[in-house]
Amino acid sequence: MTEAHSHSFKLNRTTSLLLGAAFVGVLAFAIGVAQSPQHTWKIFLVNFLFWSGISISGVVFSAIFQLTKARWAVDRVRTVAESFACFLPLSLLLYLLLMVLGAGSLYPWITDPPPGRATWFTLPFLGLRDGIALLLLYGVAGKFLLASRRSRRKDSSAPSNLSALAVLTILLYTATFSLVAIDLVMSLDPYWISTLFPAYFFMGNLCVGIAAITAASFLWRRATGVEEWFNDSIAHDLGKLLLGFTLLWTYLLWSQYLVIWYGNLPEELGFLVVRTTGSWGVLAWMVLSLCFFIPFTALLSRRMKQPTPLFVISLITLVGIWLERFWLVVPSTETGLSFSWVDLLVTLGFFALFALSQVVLGRHLGAPWARG
């Protein structure tokens, strides 16, 4: 069997496995909605936020690399980051599904809007404003990606305004995911107020995004056998980025907690009290350990910024941020922490959809795992 045929066979086998996993996830979701629609739609929202956050953060990091002229990330690291955008079309479809079928099970203000904010808290207005914002962001991100690809190929048709597109992508990202944080997460408790939460939320996307870029780069290295490019030097740079965004995420988390604790205002305390007491308090400490204590302690060491240990730390961060999204969304109407087989299989289905987008659409963005 030739190398090309072997690679094609591996891709076909991988695609079949992912399709099977996606089908299992869809089936588990249907069963979950029939048994416990409110909880199952919350798991859907958790995964929508998590995988969409990784997807768009890949584009944002490519824009950051462009603006900072990060020569170490010019080719392969940026290619890995940009390939995450393949999930963005699916993200829009999943958002539409969430608004049309799931919102009624998630948001109490649909039937009981808070006084004085009834205009803002209407489902058609929310669905329309967030949908337009996501569509605009994803459209500009796609334009930036195409321009970035042409620029790195030294294409004569590459636009000269690549840096301007990078700035616009970053600005739209912060505005759009601030809106997503307010509308899709904060409004689970429509009486809760926090002006710091949107920044904390979109910074969490960047934290998990750099972890995903690191993990995917390591897997590319192992799958292709081309180990030279993902060397200790590049791993060290990615490790420093992961450490920096871990510290920034933690800073915003602490700043928000400190302001709420010091202010001691009823409209701010409820959200926090629910999530830091009982079994939810145990999960809060677990999230803090996975997202801060472990990565921070490990990444202080130069040895831990080598490819294999850094891959493990990246996986820990990925799990930690998923649990953090779960911690933000699920306790809004549930008194105790619990995981079910439906939660795990729905999450597996989302992972399969994300991976399928890389395999099926990735060739258009040069993803290494889609080349054949």
Tell me whether residue 8 is in a domain. no
CA 190 to chain centre: 23
- pLDDT tens across 136-169, in order? 999 999 999 989 888 877 655 556 789 999 999 9
Look at residue 261 in the predicted model and tell me its pLDDT.
84
Is residue 25 assigned to a domain?
Answer: yes
HSE-CB at 110 with a 13 A cutoff on CA atoms is 16
Determine phi and psi for 114, rounding to 5 degrees.
Answer: -65, 145
Nearest to 49 by CA among 41, 38, 39: 41
Domains of the chain: total:
1
pLDDT digits (tens, 9 = 90+) for 256-301: 888 888 888 777 888 888 898 889 999 999 999 999 999 999 999 9
Look at residue 7 and tell me if it is in a domain: no
pLDDT of residue 74: 67
- pLDDT per residue as tens digits for the range 303-330: 999 999 999 999 999 999 999 999 999 9
Output the pLDDT for position 271: 86
Residue 3 inside a domain? The answer is no
Whether 4 is covered by a domain: the verdict is no
The residue segments making up the domain with residue 192 are 16-366
**Whether residue 368 has pLDDT greater than 60:** no
In tens, the pLDDT along 53-97 reads 999 999 999 999 999 988 887 678 888 999 999 999 999 999 999
pLDDT of residue 129: 96
CA torsion sign for 19, 22, 27, 28 is positive
Quickly state the pLDDT bin for 48 (edges 50, 70, 90).
very high
Are the C-beta atoms of residues 85 and 142 closer than 8 Å to each other? yes
Please state, for a pLDDT cut of 90, what percent of the chain lies above it: 64
Task: Quote the percentage of the chain above a pLDDT of 70.
Answer: 90
Report the C-alpha dihedral over residues 17, 18, 23, 27, rounded to 10 degrees: 100
pLDDT at residue 209, rounded to an integer: 97
In this prediction, residues 38-50 reach a mean pLDDT of: 97
Whether 22 is in a domain gets the answer: yes
Is residue 114 pLDDT above 90, yes or no?
A: no
> Mean of the pLDDT values across residues 29-33?
97
Quote the pLDDT of residue 255: 92
Predicted TM-score (pTM) of this structure: 0.92
Decide if pLDDT at 370 tops 60: no
Q: The tokens 């079994």 sit on which residue?
A: 279
Report the range of poorest mean pLDDT among 128-142, 143-157, 338-352. 143-157
H-assigned helices in 69-107: 76-83, 88-97, 103-106
pLDDT exceeds cutoff 90 at 339: no
Do 283 and 327 meet the contact criterion of CB atoms below 8 Å apart? yes
Q: Residue 305 and residue 311: Cα distance in Å, rounded?
A: 9
pLDDT of residue 85: 94
pLDDT at 3: 47
Kindly state whether residue 130 falls inside one of the protein's structural domains.
yes
Residue 214 in any domain: the answer is yes
